[in-house]
Each structure stands twice: as structure tokens, then as C-alpha cells.
């Protein structure tokens, strides 16, 4: 019996290996639009796809980021300034893309733009949550809805960058909330537009050393949020908690990988493979920690996080 089981698993692994290595033809004729290309995953993916000969349209938040990217790529790559929180900017970028792709449509839409804030929920105001949701979730949704007719015309791909924290909420601050939303939107979108030959892939990276995960930026934002909290909240948590919390964020940031290609390779596969996966867990921490943790019973996850987390001054 064990022999049959091993043979079956081996056959399935072999079939999956060959299936996932089938590549879409005529890649040099396909257009891909990527948001958040000033740095990080978006910047590297734009350069990676450009080297492969694809027609990359890279959206940057700043002209400086766009210029630096153009200097590192071929003449095929084009840039546009895009703020995903502004409807007029999205409309202008969509028209810009439409003029370039014409009747061929848009093969790939990569929603990569994002920001990150880790903090205690009680330290935040409604607007603090809204600022993150506007970029990571609502902006991503509006860009997708605006570009979707072009993607449908090409029977192409939508690749949404979520996070391992879109599976397990380790802390507050709006980041996990936004990524849970990315997961839900992507699932519903995938089911709705599968009838038109469009595929939707979700990338769930673990910890990687990008500007989003920059320790100095994260600690500065935490201290800023702490300063705006009430005296009552500060008494409940106290300054020692703040210092310990920032140290825990530093420890988490130190575990981040420098090899961003682990993520961009997943993004590239989702765009170029004949049979892309629905979800990609990028990074060993995603595969060995976050993914297994997400399938554990809730009470067990709560107990583990309670045990390893920093405790407030007035905790029971």
C-alpha cells in the first residue's frame, strides 16, 4: 500500500513539475502594467520582465523613481506617474495604457503598490486605518476595476500582492486588515472572471527587506502613533512596553530576507506560465511558519501569540 501511495505522490509531483514549466508563447508581444515600481518588488519585477523581452509599463509614485528605473532598463519599458489613492490619477493611467495596448489588450496587471504600519490598534484613529486601506486595498480595487476591460480583452492575468499576514494577523495597524481584504477580493474576482479566460493569482510573501519593511521607518511611525495616544492609553501600556514593542519589530525586521527575487520569480511565473498557481507562498518563513499557522485552530494561534508577545504594563 505504501508503495502505491509513494508512486502516486511521485507521479503527481512529476506531472505538476512539467505542467508548471509550460510557458505562454509570444511573450515579447505582451503588455504588463505594474504599480509601485519606485523600489522593492515592483522595481525588480519591471527590470526582470524587461530583460525577458516583455513590454513593461511601470507605474511609479514619483518622477525620481520613474527616471531611475528608466535608466536601468531598455527603451521598451515605459513609465507613468500613478497615485493609487486618487481616482483622477487612475483614470489618466488607464487611458495611457489603453493608447499603448490598443486592440491587443493588457496581458498582465500587477497590483504591487502598498504601505505598511505595525501598531497597537488602540493607538490608532480611524484615519490611520483609512490611510492604509486607501493604498493597499481600495486603491488596488479601483486600479483593477479600471484596467479589467483591457485585461479581459487579452484574456490575461491579474496578479495581486497580498502577504503572509493576509493569512495570520500578528499585529494591528491596518496592514493585515488590508491584506485580508486583498485575499477576499482576489478570490471573488477570480471566480467571476474565470468565464472570460482571465486568471487571478495571489502572491503571499513572508518577510523581505523592502522599503515597506524598513525598521527605521516602521519604528518612527510607531513612535508617532504613540505620541498621539491619550494619557489613559499611555498609562495602560507605558513607555517600557513601547520600547519592547519597537525591539520586537526590529527582531522581526532582522529576519527579513534580502533576496527579493524569491517573490518576483513567483510574480513572473504567474504572468508567464500557461498554468499559474492560485496562490504563491514566497519565502521559507511563509511556507514553514505563516502557512501552517494559518491552518491551526484559532485558540492555539491565540495562545502562541499571547506567549511570545510583549505584555502591556497593566496586563492581567
Could you tell me which residues are beta bridge partners of residue 279? 202
Output the DSSP codes for 21-58. Answer: T-B-S-GGG-EEEES--SSHHHHHHHHHHHHTT-EEEE
d(CA 61, CA 64): 9
- Go through 188-197 and write b for each residue having 16 or more CB atoms within 10 A of its CB, e for each that does not: ebbeebeeee
Annotated catalytic residue, options 175, 180, 237, 245: 175
Could you tell me which residues are beta bridge partners of residue 79? 58
Which one-letter DSSP state was computed for residue 208? B
Which one-letter DSSP state was computed for residue 78? E
> How do 55-60 and 78-81 pair as beta strands?
parallel
Q: Which of 46, 76, 80, 73 minimizes the C-alpha distance to 271?
A: 46
Distances (CA, A) of 253 to 198, 216, 310, 311: 36, 10, 16, 20
HSE of 32, CA atoms in CB hemisphere, 13 A = 30
Asked if 290 is an active-site residue, the reply is no
Q: Which of 24, 90, 80, 39 minimizes the C-alpha distance to 56?
A: 80
Q: How many helices (H) and strands (E) does the chain have?
A: 13, 7
Residues carrying an active site annotation: 175
Amino acid at each position: 500500500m505504501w508503495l502505491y501511495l509513494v508512486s502516486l505522490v511521485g507521479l503527481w509531483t512529476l506531472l505538476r513539475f512539467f505542467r508548471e514549466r509550460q510557458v505562454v508563447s509570444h511573450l515579447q508581444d505582451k503588455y504588463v502594467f505594474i504599480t509601485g515600481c519606485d523600489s522593492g518588488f515592483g522595481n525588480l519585477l519591471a527590470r526582470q520582465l524587461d530583460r525577458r523581452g516583455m513590454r513593461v509599463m511601470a507605474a511609479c509614485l514619483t518622477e525620481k523613481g520613474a527616471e531611475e528605473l528608466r535608466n536601468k532598463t531598455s527603451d521598451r519599458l515605459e513609465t507613468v506617474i500613478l497615485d493609487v489613492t486618487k481616482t483622477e490619477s487612475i483614470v489618466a493611467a488607464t487611458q495611457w495604457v489603453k493608447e499603448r495596448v490598443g486592440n491587443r489588450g493588457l496581458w498582465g496587471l500587477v497590483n504591487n503598490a502598498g504601505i505598511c504600519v505595525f501598531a497597537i490598534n488602540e493607538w490608532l484613529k480611524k484615519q490611520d486605518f483609512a490611510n492604509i486601506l486607501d493604498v493597499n486595498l481600495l486603491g488596488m480595487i479601483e486600479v483593477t476595476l479600471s484596467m479589467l476591460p483591457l485585461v479581459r480583452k487579452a484574456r490575461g492575468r491579474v496578479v495581486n500582492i497580498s502577504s503572509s499576514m493576509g493569512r495570520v494577523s500578528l499585529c494591528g495597524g491596518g496592514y493585515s486588515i488590508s491584506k485580508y481584504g486583498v485575499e477576499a477580493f482576489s478570490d471573488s474576482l477570480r471566480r467571476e472572471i474565470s468565464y472570460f479566460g482571465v486568471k487571478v493569482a495571489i502572491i503571499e510573501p513572508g518577510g523581505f527587506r523592502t522599503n515597506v519593511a524598513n525598521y527605521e521607518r516602521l519604528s518612527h511611525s510607531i513612535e508617532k502613533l504613540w505620541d498621539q495616544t491619550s494619557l489613559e492609553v499611555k498609562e495602560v501600556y507605558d513607555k517600557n512596553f513601547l520600547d519592547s514593542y519597537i525591539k520586537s519589530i526590529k527582531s522581526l525586521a532582522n529576519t527579513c530576507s534580502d533576496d527579493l527575487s524569491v517573490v518576483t520569480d513567483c510574480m513572473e511565473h504567474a504572468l508567464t506560465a500557461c498554468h499559474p498557481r492560485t496562490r504563491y507562498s514566497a519565502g521559507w518563513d511563509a511556507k514553514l511558519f505563516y502557512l501552517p499557522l494559518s491552518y491551526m485552530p484559532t485558540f492555539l494561534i491565540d495562545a502562541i501569540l499571547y506567549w511570545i508577545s510583549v505584555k502591556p504594563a497593566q496586563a492581567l
